[in-house]
Structure 1
Amino acid sequence: MSARDAILKRLRERTDGALNAPDSDFSVVTGRGWSIGERLERFERLITSVHGEVIHTTHDNWTVDLAELLHAKGVHRLALGREHPVAAEARSALDARDVVLLDADRDIESWQQEQFESTDAGLTSTRGAIAETGSLWLWPTPDEPRLISLVPPIHIAVLDADTIEDTFFDVIEAHGWADGMPTNALLVSGPSKTADIEQTLAYGVHGPRELVVLVRHAEERK
């Protein structure tokens, strides 16, 4: 019997009753009560404060804004998925344009050098965002692996405005992480950044030097 099995056996056979989790007060990490507008304002303020870029668009026009963004940033080789609606719409809109679309659902060994040396940007969907910290949260899949948001110099993320939650705790509760916690959720709070011993902050050293968030609204903002 392994040490792990022995410990579990002792826990199961304990004579003073079942182990129960103590009551917990989570009020400190939830209950902000922000409106949709307040969430959006806070998210944008925080993520732009660390060099993130936010572009407001609509569900109908976001691919037009994406094409303009790629042209402005000089992106010629874009890594993206194929199955997710965001990737499928982007592929359809960019098919006739001068952008090479790179399939991201390949084994990393088959395109590692290409991804690290000649991919200009990665496009991903997002599952939502967190207003309190100005963070995106992504749930990578084989179609949209985590490396396309972590390796290319530019990470372009598509966020629906109505998926912004108040706090990280609210994300965990709303999406049932206790019943099925993602194995590889990513929290993105700006471009890659690091600091040396003198606390000089540098961007893009260990990942994307730019983060651009396309925030999609149901209709044009007034």
Structure 2
Amino acid sequence: MGARERMLGRLRAAAPSATEDVAALDGRIAAHHARPPLDGAAMLDAFEAALRSSRAEVWRADADAWPALLAEKLAEHGVKRLLLDVGGEEGAALAGALPINIEALPFQRPLEDWKTELFDTVDAGFTVARSGIAATGTLVLAPDAGTPRTVSLVPPLHVALVHADTLHATLYDAARAEHWRDGMPANLVLVSGPSKTSDIQQTLAFGAHGPRWLWVVIVTDRRQP
């Protein structure tokens, strides 16, 4: 038996039986992750602290104030072209608050048709997170046609909006609360800080494989209908 067969044999032996009760397995995992629950304020503080420890810029704002706050920060940063979904509620709100010298640019063409323009001239991409994970300061993004993965991966500045009432304590809690096992999207993008690497001479560098900067705006309430 070769090394490959031995490794696969060990993996098969360690895998749960196909007949193992799912509820029992969930119970074992839940017990492993058991901890005192965090209230909303504590979870928000933990989420922000984890983001800042990963070199992200973080602001808190209410539902009425965040578009103007973010528009001001983008102008100060020198952003000229911002990639965002103007068809979404949050994207439309931000587009309406931008000064005239910042172009709101929707993702409406196949990537192959404007790859050079996208990589060379777009300064920032705006996404709305599906949720957040407090323990690691992680944004959970569910890309779609209006906001594909490119928006959070290509521009040098990634700006994300997350609603405080979507935060979960851990990845396990997010998967359970959002019922990931009942139907996953084509992909989920988990973002924990700006792109970074230390592959070259073990020197930490930002922006080598993605955005150099990550900004996160936490919306602390929901706009009333």
Give TM-score, length-normalised by structure 1. 0.85
CA distance in 2, matches of 1:80, 1:66: 13
Shift of 1:41: 1.0
Q: Which residues of structure 1 form unaligned runs of 5+? A: 1-17
- Are residue 83 (structure 1) and residue 87 (structure 2) matched? yes
Q: Give how far 1:103 is off.
A: 1.3
Match of 2:12 in 1: none
Give the structure 1 partner of residue 20 of structure 2.
Answer: 21
Aligned position for 1:175: 178
What is the aligned partner in structure 2 of residue 51 from structure 1?
55
Deviation per CA, 1:69-113: give whole Å up to 9, x if none: 11111001100112221112112222x621111111321112211
- Give the corresponding residue for 2:165: 162
Is the Cα–Cα contact under 8 Å of residues 75 and 102 in structure 2 kept in the other structure? no
Identity of aligned residues (%): 40
Counterpart-to-counterpart distance in 2, 1:73 and 1:20:
56
Partner of 1:194: 197
Q: What CA RMSD, in Å, does the superposition of the two structures yield over aligned residues?
A: 1.7
Corresponding position: 1:33 with 2:37: yes
Higher helix share: 2
Contact 2:68 2:94 in 1 (8 A): no
Q: 1:114 to 1:30 in 2, by over 3 A?
A: farther
Gaps of 5+ in 2: 1-16
| Mapped pair 1:184 → 2:183 | no
Asked if structure 2 preserves the Cα contact closer than 8 Å seen for 1:191 and 1:208, the reply is yes
Asked if the contact 2:46/2:135 (under 8 Å) is kept, the reply is yes
Q: Which stretch shows the higher mean deviation, 154-163 or 22-31?
A: 22-31
| Runs of 4+ deviating beyond 4 Å | none
Larger deviation, residues 100-109 vs 204-213: 100-109
| 2:154 aligned with 1:151 | yes
- Using structure 2 for the length normalisation, give the TM-score: 0.84
Structure-1 separation of matches of 2:156 and 2:97: 22
**How far apart, in 1, do the equivalents of 2:181 and 2:158 lie?**
29
Aligned to 1:100: 103
